[in-house]
Structure 1
Amino acid sequence: MVDLVERARAALTERKDQTELPGMSLIEHLNELRQRLVHSAVALVIGFFIAYAFHEKIFGIMQAPIVEALKKNHLDTQLVIHNPIDGFNMYLKISFTFGAILAAPYVLYQLWLFISPGLYANEKKYVTPFMVATVGLFLCGAFFGYHYVFPGSLGFLFDYSKQFKPLIEISEYTDLFNTVILGLGITFELPILVMFLSLFGIVSPKFLWKNIRYAILIIFIIAAIITPTPDVLTMCVFASPMLVLYLISIGVSFMVHPARRRKRAAEAS
């Protein structure tokens, strides 16, 4: 950890010394940050109202895996609430969640605009791959969780507790759904995080490969946290794509690391 902090400090110092862009004062940085936060907040509010307009359809999509699992086990498919306000709170919760997903591309673009003054001119070309990869990887993670991990986990849980009659409360089910789907969607963003760290020279392919054993440990800890079942098999199902993404991240780091880019520029000249 100390080594990583030192790498970050050295990389940021080097960029400050080498950048050709005029420096910004603290007040200018704060004004820029405020502007990006305001734009992002407006996008989140708009996303919330759009999602709320379709809240029943969204919940229908969320409810489909549990309904299918209940039908397969010949159980009542009606979910329950403990008090009248639970349904309203649940609709607000899913509207906030899916509104944030709708607004995410614009929020990410605001993030890019905020950090872009600290990038070199040739690094700003990464904005399009960054946007496409970020949204695409999140959707891949959510798709993987929705169509494979979540239904499989529900099937395991119902098979394991056939002697009981389930009374599934909607808010608890919503929390479980969000944990699995959003957890996997965010986890699939690992290559993007590594790309930024490598772009600024904070980590390198050698560093990532050297510490792969620690990465495997952290990946299994994260998988244990977000997996909805206690069995080892499901945890491995969660961890497997994360391990693959880590290996992909090493390749991404190799491509965008400053040392590699300088070598390609030297060969081209």
Structure 2
Amino acid sequence: MRRRRVKNPDGRMPVLDHLRELRRRLIIIVLLVAAGAVLGWYLYPHTLNVLRHPYCSVPEKFRYTPSRSTNCVLIYHGALDGFITRLKVSVISGAVFTGPFWLYQVWAFITPGLRKNERKYTLIFVIASTILFAAGMALAYVVLSKGLRILLEQAGNGTQAQLTVSDYISFVTLMLVVFGAAFELPLLVVMANVAGVLPARLLRRSRRIAIFLIFLFAAVATPSTDPFTMCAMALPMVVLFEVAIQIAIVHDRRKARRQAEERAEQHLDDDVPSAVDAIPERLDWSDST
């Protein structure tokens, strides 16, 4: 009979047990994404229509339109391109659909290394990360229509873009994932602050450098590389980073106050009498009944 492993209240475990725990969490994440991919495969026609909308919003003179048709189409050349595109979109959709569940697995793997009173942030982490990632994807989808039009119009009049479905879907999904992942920055900063890695004073001192790095990251990470898309990513990230700094300041103040109270309690000696007034205050009985 297999003996159950006794959990350490401090969350510490040997290296091999830590690797086994990582393997177990990764297997659960893969199964969750695979289950979501089945749903993504079924919803692929609707997902494709949503992803195709930014391209269809480009004026007809800059995109390929079949003769005697008003519909915008995406073409493909290889026999397997259609299947691979559908499989790719299904897997990405599955990861999005099951995001809260596999994010919980990630946090559950991290929490054994944290104190017991810090594990209460599990639900906050899952909800905040899901909302931030969804907000980043929503902003990317709004920016795509404008950014894609700017890119396609650079070729000038008399030219049309004949995009393949595989290249276009890769571009759009990369844009959505990059924006969603970038919006997780404030959450990572807050997590590092709660874990004691990034104190608030360090964040305040490095604010200017961080803003420069955010714009640099936006310039490199955005697939379209146009200034409009770069600013659309960088400016919200700067605002979210400032919010994370303010949260870190409040957390550090509360932590310092709590530590000061704990130190004051530790300095109390049972053998030393507490200081009291020599003459007690006179009680006022005038309002008593």
- Report the more deviating stretch, 123-132 or 205-214: 205-214
Q: For residue 194 of structure 1, what is the aligned residue in structure 2?
A: 189
Distance in 1 of aligned mates of 2:223 and 2:30: 31
Q: For residue 159 of structure 1, what is the aligned residue in structure 2?
A: 153
Q: 1:74 to 1:28 in 2, by over 3 A?
A: closer
Q: CA deviation at 1:71?
A: 4.4
Q: Is the 8 A contact 1:157 1:229 kept in 2?
A: yes
Distance in 2 of aligned mates of 1:74 and 1:101: 29
AA partner of residue 88 (structure 2): K
**1:68 corresponds to 2:57:** yes
AA partner of residue 40 (structure 1): I
Distance in 1 of aligned mates of 2:255 and 2:212: 31
Among candidates 130, 144, 152, match of residue 150 of structure 1: 144
Q: CA deviation at 1:264?
A: 4.5
Q: For residue 273 of structure 2, what is the aligned residue in structure 1?
A: none
Q: CA deviation at 1:231?
A: 3.6
Q: More helix by proportion, 1 or 2?
A: 1
Distance in 1 of aligned mates of 2:217 and 2:239: 15
Q: Is the 8 A contact 2:61 2:160 kept in 1?
A: no
Q: CA deviation at 1:222?
A: 1.6
Q: 1:123-167: CA deviations, max 9, x gaps?
A: 1111111111000001111111112x1111022223333421211
AA partner of residue 147 (structure 2): S
Q: For residue 261 of structure 1, what is the aligned residue in structure 2?
A: 255
AA partner of residue 200 (structure 1): A
Distance in 2 of aligned mates of 1:22 and 1:125: 14
Q: Point out the structure with max Rg over C-alpha.
A: 2
Aligned residues: 249
Among candidates 35, 42, 46, match of residue 46 of structure 1: 35
Q: 1:267 to 1:237 in 2, by over 3 A?
A: same
Q: 1:140-199: CA deviations, max 9, x gaps?
A: 11111112x111102222333342121111111111101211111110001111122111
Structure 2 unaligned spans of 5+: 1-7, 66-71, 266-289
Q: For residue 103 of structure 1, what is the aligned residue in structure 2?
A: 98
Distance in 1 of aligned mates of 2:102 and 2:14: 24
Q: For residue 170 of structure 2, what is the aligned residue in structure 1?
A: 175
User: Does 1 or 2 have the higher relative contact order (CA < 8 Å, sep 6+)?
Assistant: 1
% identical equivalent positions: 31
Q: CA deviation at 1:214?
A: 2.2
Report SS of the residue matched to 2:98.
Answer: helix
Q: 1:82-119: CA deviations, max 9, x gaps?
A: 22211111111111111111222111111222222222
Q: CA deviation at 1:249?
A: 1.7
Normalised to the residue count of structure 1, the TM-score between the two structures is: 0.84
Report SS of the residue matched to 1:168.
Answer: coil
Q: For residue 84 of structure 2, what is the aligned residue in structure 1?
A: 89
Q: CA deviation at 1:122?
A: 1.7
AA partner of residue 154 (structure 2): Y
Report SS of the residue matched to 1:69.
Answer: coil
Distance in 2 of aligned mates of 1:166 and 1:88: 23
CA RMSD of aligned residues (A): 2.4
Q: CA deviation at 1:216?
A: 2.0
Q: 1:81 to 1:21 in 2, by over 3 A?
A: same
Report SS of the residue matched to 2:163.
Answer: coil
Q: Is the 8 A contact 2:147 2:226 kept in 1?
A: no
Distance in 1 of aligned mates of 2:250 and 2:63: 52
Q: Is the 8 A contact 2:37 2:93 kept in 1?
A: yes
Q: 1:243-268: CA deviations, max 9, x gaps?
A: 111111212322344x6424146569
Q: CA deviation at 1:241?
A: 0.9
Q: 1:199-238: CA deviations, max 9, x gaps?
A: 1111112111211232122212221123344443432222
Distance in 1 of aligned mates of 2:43 and 2:11: 46
